[in-house]
Amino acid sequence: MSKLILIRHGQSIWNAANKFTGWVDVPLSKQGRAEAIAAAGKLQNYLVNVCFTSLLIRSIETAIICLTEYDSVNGGKTPILHHDADDPQWHGWDRYEGDHTQELPIYPSAALDERYYGNLQGLNKAETVEKFGQAQVTKWRRSYDVRPPSGESLEDTLKRSVPYFRDRILTHLKHGDNVLVAAHGNSLRSIIKELDGLSNEEVINLELATAVPIVYDVDSSGQVSHKLILN
């Protein structure tokens, strides 16, 4: 059995400020870094072979902390980010000839980015409730297929995260790799919807705490047989 480890990033500075963050690239708070260190301790008995993150710094920070606090997690290998060579912004600056047997690859992808909150990004959640009402804000935040103004619904997020999971991440699991995915509440909720077979109504009630690892056993056919939450 391969291990699939899903972890929402630790608390970000805007999480602490109760702001809608979405695609705004905000780093972890001091508490968020402490949460990631605690998560690393929970993972010290798991050997990770490959890691996937979003493009956002809070998920990358969380992954790096989880992979570097204990050598038992990285197997003594150096975590190295592998940038997308097809990205027009990429100029080959990270290319080098080295001993890849001593590296643990991290693949950042926009497919795992948080849900885009559009015009809500940067707004305080409590003040947004005061302005638009609790019912409307709850609909924007929790509905499966309702978009916030100029933003993405959870369904929109699923349409990019789940195909990436099937095409890139599941392939490693079927080959026997243990995989760490450090991402966001909504990109991970959409993947868990797929893994757990949740309905559109059931996923609305799924909440993910910051920096709490969720471990799945995955067999060579890609089937999930067990799930463990490392609270």
- Positions annotated as catalytic residues are 9, 114
Residue 98, helix vs strand vs coil? coil
Q: Amino acid letter at 18?
A: N
Please tell me whether residue 217 adopts helix, strand or coil conformation: strand
CA pair distance 18, 210, nearest whole angstrom? 14
CA dihedral 200, 111, 39, 67 (to 10 degrees): 150
Q: Is 9 annotated as a binding residue?
A: yes
* Residue 119 labelled as part of a binding site: no
What are residue 79's DSSP bridge partners? 104
11 among the known binding-site residues?
yes
Query: How far is the CA of 194 from the CAs of 23, 187, 208, 222, in angstroms?
Result: 23, 11, 15, 12
115 in a known ligand binding site: yes
Is 31 part of any known ligand binding site?
A: no
* 45 is an annotated ligand-binding site residue: no
147 is in an annotated binding site: no
Instruction: Please report, for the chain, how many H helices and E strands are present, in that order.
Output: 9, 7
Task: Report CA 146 to chain centroid distance, whole Å.
Answer: 22
- Flag whether 22 is marked binding: yes
172 assigned ligand-binding residue: no
Q: Is 171 annotated as a binding residue?
A: no
Determine how many CB atoms are found less than 10 A away from the CB of residue 56. 25
Angle at 160 between CA 158 and CA 165, to 5 degrees: 85
To the question of whether residue 12 is assigned a binding role by annotation, the answer is: yes
The residue type at 166: R
Residue 15 marked as a ligand binder: yes
Binding residues for substrate: 8-15, 21-22, 58, 114-117, 125, 141-142, 185-186
Binding residues: 8-15, 21-22, 58, 114-117, 125, 141-142, 185-186
